[in-house]
Amino acid sequence: MHILYPSLPYESWEADPLWKPEYSWAGAAGLPVGLFDVETLRLWPKAPAAPALYRGWMLTEPEYKLLEQVAPVLISHKSYLSAHLASGWYEAIREYTFASTFQPASHLPDFSAGQRYFVKGLVKSFGPDSVVASGAEWQELLRKHGVLSDELLFVRQYAELQPDSERRYLVVGGVAYGAEGKLLPKKLEPALFQLRPRLFYSLDVALTAAGHPIIVEVGDGQVSDLKEWDVADFGRTVLRALAAVTQA
């Protein structure tokens, strides 16, 4: 398995500083690494011969398709989108996450009974503005974040979560790994089966106010940041697991 990290724009020989620690760890651990410049589509030092895992910034569908054209990627663009976009994973695990709908920004949710919603795009979060409880707050979110009327939004039933309870699991070949060996709650293990055959993705898990584990969201593992993981733990656990799965 070859791993491609982002380079500096137009400096395809130099790793992006924010990804350099992981790039350096992987190289020192003997994993074949290279760099990819999304601006010029240049690969350094050359296009890999082995299937390449991308680890870097989020790519749009057209950008990922371009990467797919210049390198033998391990994960196809369709598989990438199936974990990267909320519309690609929600139906598979709807019983393990918040009840949600997909609707255009022009469609106002029902606030008549005092409902609150957690709103995000198919990929991006709106940060502290994400919780809305009225039509006025909905319109302000759209205005503040420049959301177009036909943009599809992920509108989720609101639930109180225990503070600081969210953890990121990385799933490789159907096996979930938590930082420092933390195990995925057993109640959520069936979701791993339902998300097959996705090879590498993240699961963000939190506890409700009542103490029940719930999946907050799924993400593509290639563009997942490490959150509570440190680079060495991620490398030893996740990158090694990926190398083993891809060589099997």
The dihedral built from the CA positions of residue 209, 211, 217 and 220, taken in this order, carries a sign that is positive
Number of independent structural domains in the chain: 3
List the beta bridge partners of residue 171.
176, 201
- Both tokens assigned to 184: 């995925």
Same domain, 182 and 88: yes
177 close to 170: Cβ distance less than 8 angstroms = yes
Model pLDDT, residue 243? 95
Full residue range of the structural domain in which residue 6 is found: 2-74
Same domain, 178 and 241: yes
Model pLDDT, residue 138? 97
- 45 SS3 class: coil
112-115: Cβ within 8 A, 24+ apart: 115/158
Same domain, 33 and 67: yes
Same domain, 56 and 111: no
Mark which of 125, 157, 189 sits at the end of a domain: 157
Same domain, 88 and 190: yes
What CATH number is associated with residue 203? 3.30.470.20
Mark which of 137, 157, 177 sits at the end of a domain: 157
Model pLDDT, residue 77? 97
Same domain, 116 and 21: no
Same domain, 23 and 121: no
Same domain, 90 and 70: no
Same domain, 186 and 63: no
Same domain, 104 and 54: no
Q: The whole model's pTM is what? A: 0.95
Mark which of 133, 157, 181 sits at the end of a domain: 157
Same domain, 59 and 129: no
Same domain, 91 and 194: yes
Task: Give me the amino acid identity at 57.
Answer: W
pLDDT per position in the chain (248 positions), as tens? 999 999 999 899 999 999 999 999 999 999 999 999 999 999 999 999 889 999 999 999 999 999 999 999 999 999 999 999 999 999 999 999 999 999 999 999 999 999 999 999 999 999 999 999 999 999 999 999 999 999 999 999 999 999 999 999 999 999 999 999 999 999 999 999 999 999 999 999 999 999 999 999 999 999 999 999 999 999 999 999 999 999 86
